[in-house]
Amino acid sequence: MSTIPSHSRLADVSNAALFRELTADNFAILAEEIGLRLATYQNGAPTTIIGPPTAGTFALAEFWRDALGGEWRCTGAGTPGTWLQIQPAAVTADPASGTIPTGYLIWNVSTGHIKRHAGGYVWEVPGA
What local confidence, expressed as pLDDT, does residue 39 receive?
78
**Residues present in the chain in total:** 128
What local confidence, expressed as pLDDT, does residue 1 receive?
40
What local confidence, expressed as pLDDT, does residue 106 receive?
96
For the sheet containing 63-65, what is the strand order? 63-65, 71-76, 82-87
Mean pLDDT of residues grouped by 10 in the chain (128 residues)? 59 69 68 64 85 92 92 94 95 90 93 92 84
What local confidence, expressed as pLDDT, does residue 3 receive?
55
